[in-house]
Amino acid sequence: METVIDIVDVSWKRQGQFILSDIDWKVWKGEHWALLGLNGSGKTTLLNMINGYIWPTTGRVSVLGQVFGETDMRELRKSIGWVSSSLQERLQETATAEEIVVSGKFASIGLYESTNDTDFEKAYHIMDQLGCSHIIGRTYQTCSQGEKQKILIARGLMGSPELLILDEPTSGLDFLAREDLLLVVENLAAQDNTPTIIFVTHHIEEILPAFSKSLLLREGSVFKKGYTKDILTTDTLSKFYSTPVEVERKNNRFLMSVPVTSRYL
C-alpha cells in the first residue's frame, strides 16, 4: 500500500525551542484524517512542513512517495491542495472567484501562467459541485466568508490533487454555512478517486464519519493517533486537554461539553 504522508522522527526547532518534536505519522492512500490540537500546538507548522514550506530540523518527510531533499517541491505542491486562512490573507481581493480557483492549477497565489478555456471550464465544474457557481464573475472581496471558503476549496481541487489539506476551513462561518461546508467535505470524501483529506479543526462536532483516523497534537508532540472512535472519548480528550470534558455521539457526530462543576475549578 502507498503512503500519502510518511513522517519519521521529525522535529523542528526555532530560537532554541522545539516547535515540533519526535513526530511519527503515516497516512495511507484512501484514508482521511482529522487533526486536533489547542492553539499553538503545532498543527499549521506540521502542515507547512508537509507542503515543503519549512524543513525538518531532524527526521525524514516524504509526501506522495517523494522524499524531501530529493524532489522538486514546486512540482510536488501541484499535487497538494492547501486551504488555510493564511492563504486567504494573501489572495488578490480584486481577482474574480474563478480566477482564484484557476490559480490552484499552478499552486500560485496570482494568475501568472497562461490559462485556457479548458482550465476555466474545469473551474466552473468544480464550483458547481461545491455549490458556488452563483459567484462566478464576482470579485473575491465581495464574497461572504462561506463563499470564500468554498472558493479556496475549489482552488485546492483545481490541480486534481492527491492530498487536500483543510486547515480550519470552517472558521468564521455561521452554523448553517458551516454545515453546508461540511456537507461539501462529506460529498468530496465519498467520491471515487478523491484526494486524501486532512481536516484541521478545534471542534470535534466537525469531525465527520469519513475521518476515520485522528491525530491529537499537544505542545508539538503526538499525544495520540489512530481510529477516531478510539480517540474522541471522554477519557482521552480529558487527558489531552488536561481538563474534564464529556464526549457524546449523536447522529454519527461527536459532541464535547465541559461539565459545569469543572468550569469553576
Ligand X SMILES: Nc1ncnc2c1ncn2[C@@H]1O[C@H](COP(=O)(O)OP(=O)(O)OP(=O)(O)O)[C@@H](O)[C@H]1O
* Shortest reach from residue 17's CB to Mg ion, in Å: 17
Q: How far is the CB of 20 from Mg ion (least distance, A)?
A: 13
Q: Which of residues 64-83 bind ligand X (CB under 6 A)?
A: none
Cα→Cα distances 254→205, 208, 232, Å: 5, 8, 8
How many CB atoms are closer than 10 A to CB 200? 25
Q: Least distance (Å) from ligand X to the CB of residue 198?
A: 13
Cβ-based neighbour number of residue 111 at 10 Å? 17
Q: Which does 42 bind (CB under 5 to 8 A by kind): ligand X, Mg ion, none?
A: ligand X
> Which value, in Å, is the radius of gyration of the alpha carbons in the chain?
19
Phi, psi (deg, nearest 5) at residue 257 = -135, 160
Q: Does 238 bind Mg ion (CB under 5 A)?
A: no
Q: Per CB under 6 A, does 156 bind ligand X? A: no
Q: Binding pattern to ligand X, positions 21-60, x when CB under 6 A?
A: ----------------x-xxxxxxx---------------
Cβ burial 204-223 (10 Å sphere, 16+ → b, else e):
bebbbebbbbbbbbbebbbb
Residue 44 interacts with Mg ion (CB under 5 A): yes or no: yes
Q: Give the integer Cα–Cα distance in Å for 96 and 39.
A: 32
Alpha-carbon gap, residue 78 to 164, rounded angstroms: 11
Q: At closest approach, how far in Å is the CB of 89 from Mg ion? A: 13
Work out what residue 191 binds among Mg ion, ligand X, none; the CB cut-off runs from 5 to 8 Å by kind: none
> Can residue 14 be called a binding residue for ligand X (CB under 6 A)?
yes
CB of 38 to ligand X, least distance (A): 7
Q: For residue 192, how far is the Cα from the chain centroid?
A: 19
* Shortest Cβ 36–ligand X spacing (Å): 10
Nearer to ligand X among residue 19 and residue 61 (C-beta): 19
State the Cα–Cα distance between residues 108 and 242, nearest whole angstrom. 40
Closest by CA position to 82, among listed 161, 157, 149, 165: 165
Q: Does 105 bind ligand X (CB under 6 A)?
A: no
Note the residues at the interface with ligand X (CB under 6 A). Answer: 14-15, 19, 37, 39-45
Site of interaction with Mg ion (CB under 5 A)? 43-44
